[in-house]
Amino acid sequence: VYGGPVSNEEIFVPPPTPEFSYTRKEFSRFQSAIKYFDKPMGRLFDAIEAMGYGEDTLVVFTTDHGIVD
């Protein structure tokens, strides 16, 4: 859905998360979703700036869960 998992070299497993093959797989998928989401967020921020609301706008993004299968 998100263009596939990020490459093995790109995966960042934050401490104190253990680096098991399962956690690397989950972070690979999660980080792929983040990369996919980055482009539309950039368009949103560009649009906010173009409309002149850049200094007066707060954008909040949240999720209802962490990495869950």
Q: Which of 25, 65, 66 is nearest to 11 (CA)?
A: 25
The per-residue pLDDT for 65 is: 67
Dump pLDDT digits (tens) for 18-58: 989 988 888 888 888 888 888 899 999 999 999 999 999 99
Q: Is the pLDDT of residue 69 over 70?
A: no
The CA distance from 41 to 22, in Å, is 29
Could you tell me the pLDDT band of residue 8, with boundaries at 50, 70 and 90? Answer: confident
The per-residue pLDDT for 48 is: 98
Which CA distances in Å does 53 have to 2, 44, 48, 68? 30, 11, 5, 35
Structure tokens at 43: 């368009």
The per-residue pLDDT for 42 is: 94
Cβ atoms of 32 and 4 closer than 8 Å: yes
